[in-house]
Amino acid sequence: MTDAGDGTKNARCTQCGTEGSEIGFLGDSGQAAAGHVWWVGGPLKVGFFGAKRGGARRAIDAWRCPNCGHLELFAGKWL
């Protein structure tokens, strides 16, 4: 699986219990997104005209349990 991040907040991983998750959000580019979203580092910032901004972006890797359907999202490669 892909690394979930090095962490800056006191959150506990649901998979292994490790402390430290980095704050971020999921973003897309509307109709041009073609169904893909990405992770954006830092808190969500909304510009004057409503545009959402943040830091560097990563692809999102999603893993689903075939038994219970639980989803885990991981920040993948840099975009």
Q: Which domain holds residue 47?
A: 9-78
In a domain? residue 2: no
In a domain? residue 4: no
**Confidence at residue 7, expressed as pLDDT on a 0 to 100 scale:** 37
Contact (Cβ atoms closer than 8 angstroms) between residue 52 and residue 44: yes
Dist. CA 31–CA 18, nearest whole Å: 37
Contact (Cβ atoms closer than 8 angstroms) between residue 28 and residue 37: yes
**Number of helical (H) and strand (E) elements in the chain, helices listed first:** 0, 8
Q: What is the CA radius of gyration of the chain?
A: 14
In a domain? residue 1: no
In a domain? residue 20: yes
Task: Encode pLDDT of 1-37 as tens digits.
Answer: 334 444 334 556 677 776 766 656 666 666 666 666 7
pTM of the full predicted structure? 0.45
**Confidence at residue 10, expressed as pLDDT on a 0 to 100 scale:** 55
Task: Encode pLDDT of 30-76 as tens digits.
Answer: 666 666 677 777 777 777 776 766 777 777 777 666 667 666 777 77
